[in-house]
Amino acid sequence: MQTTPVTGHSPSASTPAPVLTLLPEKGASYIRHAWADFRAGMKLARLGTTLGWLDIKLRYRGSILGPFWLTASTAVMVAAMGVLYAYLMNMDVHKYLPFLTLSLVLWGFVGSTLQDGCTTFTSAASLIHSARMPYSLHVLRATVRNLLTLAHNIPVVLVVFLLFRVVPTWSWTMPVACALWIFDSFMATLLLGILGARFRDVPPIVASTLQILFFVTPILWAPELMKTGQNWLLLDPFFPLLEILRTPFTGDIVQAAIWPAALAWSAGLTVLTFALFARMRARLAYWV
């Protein structure tokens, strides 16, 4: 059933653009409206960045060290675990500690992005209900918030690299890998935000899965410790994404299959996320 838009004019007058269209979306309109949401969100990138910055300030309001508690806790964990695991795995601490430091910092960003992504829309329910804003703006806000959290742990990596004189292998792949990480974090936040709004069991499921993947993914242990079957690690979506950013910084050589695997996982994430967002975008306001 079609509805006549409310315009405030007589039926004989020229009909302007409708204030509200109640017709259901069909066919290509899903994709068109989802893409328009992304464009509108990117136009408000400055607002999303500001909101993410305010989230960090409010989170640590009243604290003496503020977010630098993250830096201190990361430094203590690296110092304790680095020496212990280097001894247990019979590895050179000068090589293992920089590897572990960068791995823990990157995994911390992965964990905070995925867990925070589950509540992207539910935590912004009041804003979604009170103002008509693009949903991608809330995703951008969460992405900026996690990037700022990551920035507070970067000094730990710099100090360890300076102490052990680790020289990164600078190449064009490093900025590409950083851009791919930011893009994937945006898409993962959007995907989990949709699933978390519809199914409230998603946050504990993600938390439990991350605990398992923390030990399965080469974070505490180097991939070289696997004498056979290293190609099976490519089935772990986090391993190639970690390697394209971790390997150049530690001065190692990236394997030939790492970049194709990382791009393939990123492409799959993008297609799945955009398809789900295009189909479920109109229902998000009712789920939260």
**For residue range 114-152, what is the model confidence (pLDDT) as tens digits?**
999 999 999 999 989 988 899 999 999 999 999 999 998
CB 101 within 8 A of CB 83: no
| Total structural domains within the chain | 1
Task: Answer whether residue 10 is part of any domain.
Answer: no
What integer pLDDT is reported at residue 282 of this predicted model? Answer: 87
Q: Is 20 a domain residue?
A: no
The DSSP code for 9 is S
Q: What average pLDDT is seen over the chain?
A: 86
- Does residue 2 carry a pLDDT above 50? no
133 in any annotated domain = yes
- Is 259 within the bounds of a domain? yes
Q: Beta-carbon neighbour count of residue 22 at 10 Å?
A: 10
pLDDT of residue 119: 94
Specify the pTM: 0.86
Within a domain: residue 50?
no
Mean pLDDT on 4-26: 54
Measured between alpha carbons, how far is 165 from 98 in angstroms, rounded to an integer?
Answer: 10
Q: Has residue 9 been placed in a domain? A: no
Q: Provide the residue count of the chain.
A: 288
Its domain, for residue 145, covers: 63-222+231-286
Q: Is there a domain that residue 173 lies in?
A: yes
Spatial distance between the Cα atoms of 113 and 183, rounded to a whole number of angstroms: 12
> In the chain, which ranges are continuous DSSP H helix?
29-43, 45-59, 68-88, 93-117, 125-130, 135-151, 154-163, 173-198, 202-216, 238-250, 258-280, 284-287
List phi, psi (to 5°) of 169. -90, 95
Given a cut of 60, whether residue 253 has pLDDT beyond it is yes
pLDDT at position 137 = 95
Position 171 in a domain: yes
Torsional sign, CA 223, 225, 226, 228: positive
